[in-house]
Chain A
């Protein structure tokens, strides 16, 4: 009767084979496995997040893909400095309320329609109808188009940063023919960029091909395949096996990057990018309302040592309010305090904190110097640093408890001022001009106010309406000095854009910013 058993097994095996055959026949996409043969200019990139939408500014995951397909009036590629994009030049009126842009002639959208002033008007009017982050377009009261290739924006209030705002992904120009009848939804990915959109298999891959009618220098890479690989370990293994040619490190640990460095088929290149990570004090609470306590904590933490030891290759220690990618805006004389435990103890002593019961922790009026350090539980770098800071602060006589919270709770605590110390990413700075940063943290109307003073409010108010370049720079310098002199926060690290690149790709130079991370493909080629 063994045959019954055999029959069961045979049935299961045949079911398995049939199922495999049916399912593989049902698959929507042809298999895209190993790396392409050399000379064929095809590059496969492993990306963490799917693009989510065809709309350039609609979903977080789309941003990086956007700037291969779409373009803005002003470009920030390759050096994070404003350069002509779809506009060739721009001028501001003396009062800062009118901006004129001269548009590039002879540019066509991927659908064949010409790019002109009317396409810009359509896009700005569309953006005004949507609930998307308001960058610049919300200030536009009216638009004038004296001819097909000139557009004049009349603003409701002076804005010096308007061209920078126009560089953003939210203001990328989509072909008016690609919008739905309401003029709101983007139905086709038709831009003017160096790559044309071919296909998008949700949750799997996006395929782009070179736009042979591109107005600028045509890239050498003919086809870009963007594979969605959410897991950081899988992305590493995919590049090790040659399934993908490029990946941006995100979520990997330093030891993985070390291991990748030893792989002779790959190389690693990086550039400063993202934002700065900071340690905030709750200045609305005791004892952080005392500048000496804030200065003491700033001196007691060895930022440079901890960051270099724990997170080498991924980030660089921070000394200034902004990273070097903000170039002329960084005040070279506003520098973070140096690590000095003796200085920290001295400052705390001056503030009245003594170790009266010899337990190693300072106290004052019977109260121990205890505090919590809150960080986002999903961020591995914060966890590693928080533990290091905890032990360094103990040396200075401060008892720190670590509190890891989920992302949703994190911003709520920051907004409701329910924390002592908080490790957090700098408010995302959307373009080359960091003016917006101060408003969000250091004014009463900011979303996450961490400090209020009349001096700061005044300086920030002045900066918002100032339209004189050198005057603005002075205000920037003054504000940064004010922040660090008053120990309002501790700059911790600048994130690096770390790329792992297959050795068969040459010329890929990592970009020092955020939106244009994939744009170095324009200079790259397959060997």
Chain B
């Protein structure tokens, strides 16, 4: 197991390096002159070519791309993420200011989604083919299909504009968290509920369930103790990955609710070609994704005794 973790950690380093290389070079493929876009974000579009050239030289954008990447990597190794090309603030400050807000939203959204998904998934699997099943799965289909900007606006209209129960936007007390996390949570819940339902159905058809029934165990015991526990395993992967997605920040939901998270920061930086911030954010996202993936894989060992890493026959 330890060998497996060490090996995976080494691989993670390679993946992360790959992500930074790819992001850096992809940024240069986007249309537009970076120096000009940076200048525009800083000062508006009113600059002549000399002023733009001055920014190009000052920010080192005149060097070849690979040199720029090497410089960035050099600084990174010494622990320096660089400064934002727009605000001049250290990237690490920009990210650390916004990441907690994203983390908070992601965590609550995931909890809400599990709270909805588990009961809905279980009920529709147990009552398969009933009107309750159709209702639940219909709602799940709606939840997956509805674009989150639309859901966000509908929720604001209902709960803030008409009923006046919750604030429209911003970060503050718990009441500010409700609408953005429900918006994000509903889509996640829909995905996870459908997954739980199909896994439950799969498990409920297994021999050991038939055995349990033959032994005369009560239905509830079969459903929750024997079936749900096993059906939850694949959902852990999905929930883990969904959580990683949520941690990248949802730019649309963050924009609509004026939630000061990392998604909005990343997209603003892309439009302004703020390379330092884009690199910093993608690095963070890559680290989160790979670590969560590893954590999911490790958690299998505890959830499913059949899985054992490190033993050759069990490594896929």
Binding site for B on A (CB under 8 A): 1-2, 4-5, 8-9, 12-13, 15-16, 19-21, 23-24, 26-27, 29-33, 52-53, 57-60, 63, 131-134, 170, 185, 201-205, 227-231, 233-234, 237-238, 240-241, 243, 405-412, 425, 427-428, 430, 440, 446-447
A19 touches B32 (CB 8 A): no
Q: Can you sample 9 A-B contacts with CB below 8 Å?
A: A1-B221, A12-B115, A19-B111, A131-B55, A203-B101, A231-B258, A237-B153, A237-B160, A243-B168
Q: Contact partner of A16 among B112, B156, B175, B255, CB < 8 A?
A: B112
CB-defined interface of B106-126 with A at 8 Å, one 1/0 digit per residue? Answer: 011001101100110010000
Which among B100, B160, B176, B260 is the interface contact of A241 at CB below 8 angstroms? B160
CA distance A345 to B255 in the complex (A): 48
| Residue B299 interfacial (CB < 8 Å) | no
- B residues with a Cβ closer than 8 A to A are 30-33, 36-37, 40-49, 51, 54-55, 58, 86-88, 97-98, 100-101, 104, 107-108, 111-112, 114-115, 118-119, 122, 153, 156-157, 160-161, 164, 167-177, 218, 220-221, 223-225, 228, 255-258, 260, 264-265, 271, 273
Q: Known contacts A59-B41, A428-B44, A428-B45: does B174 contact A24 (CB below 8 Å)? A: yes
Q: How far is the CA of A202 from the CA of B97 in the complex (A)?
A: 8
Bound Cα distance A9, B119 (Å): 8
Classify the secondary structure of B's interface with A.
helix
Minimum CB–CB distance for B290 against chain A, Å: 24
A233-B153 in contact given A24-B174, A411-B45 (Cβ < 8 Å):
yes
Residue from B46, B98, B112, B173 in contact with A428 in the complex, judged by beta carbons closer than 8 Å: B46
Give the top 5 A-B pairs by smallest Cβ distance, nearest first.
A408-B32, A203-B260, A1-B221, A409-B31, A31-B172
Asked whether, in the complex, the Cβ of A23 is within 8 Å of the Cβ of B170, the reply is: no
CA distance A132 to B265 in the complex (A): 23
Task: Give the chain A neighbours of B100 by CB distance below 8 A.
Answer: 26
Q: A228-B260, A408-B273 are in contact. Are A133 and B46 (CB under 8 A)?
A: yes
B83 vs chain A, min Cβ distance (A): 11
Question: In the complex, what distance in Å separates the CA atom of A24 from the CA atom of B104?
Answer: 10
Q: Which residues of A contact B58 (CB under 8 A)?
A: 131
Which residues of the partner chain A approach B54 to less than 8 Å between Cβ atoms?
131
**Is B86 within 8 A of A23, CB to CB?**
no
Closest chain-B Cβ to A392's Cβ sits at a distance in Å of 28
User: In whole Å, how far is A494's beta carbon from the nearest beta carbon of chain B?
Assistant: 17
Shortest CB-to-CB span from A272 to chain B, Å, is 19
User: Taking CB as reference atom, which chain B residue is nearest A439?
Assistant: B48
Other-chain residue from B36, B47, B169, B271 in contact with A229 (beta carbon distance below 8 A): B169
Is B31 a contact of A13 with CB atoms below 8 Å?
no
4 further A-B pairs in the complex, CB-CB below 8 A; given A233-B153, A237-B161, A241-B160: A4-B225, A8-B118, A24-B174, A234-B169
Question: Which of chain A's residues have a CB closer than 8 A to the CB of B255?
Answer: 230-231, 234
| Chain B, Cβ-Cβ closest to A5 | B224
CB-based nearest A residue for B86? A59
Note all chain A residues with C-beta closer than 8 A to B48. Answer: 440, 446-447
Q: Is the CB of A204 within 8 A of B170?
A: yes
Is B177 a contact partner of A202 (Cβ separation < 8 A)? no
Out of B88, B170, B218, B265, which one reaches A58, CB within 8 Å? B88
Q: Is the CB of B31 within 8 A of A237?
A: no
How far, in Å, is A36 (CB) from chain B's closest CB? Answer: 15
A133 contact from B43, B104, B156, Cβ within 8 A = B43
Q: Which residues of B contact A16 (CB under 8 A)?
A: 108, 111-112, 115
A57–B43 Cα distance when bound, in Å, is 8
Residue picked from B33, B114, B160, B168, most chain A C-beta under 10 Å = B168
CB proximity of B175 to chain A, nearest CB, Å = 8
Q: How far is the CA of A202 from the CA of B44 in the complex (A)?
A: 20
| CB-contact partner of B32 in A4, A231, A234, A406, under 8 A | A406
Nearest A residue (CB) for B217 = A1
Q: How far is the CA of A243 from the CA of B107 in the complex (A)?
A: 27
Contact between A234 and B168, CB atoms less than 8 A apart: yes
Contact assessment for A131 and B87 in the assembled complex, using a CB-CB cutoff below 8 Å: no
The reply to whether B107 and A19 form a contact with Cβ atoms under 8 Å apart is: yes
Residues from chain A with Cβ under 8 Å of B55 in the complex: 131
Q: Which single residue of chain B is at the shortest CB-CB distance from A2?
A: B220
A203 touches B264 (CB 8 A): yes
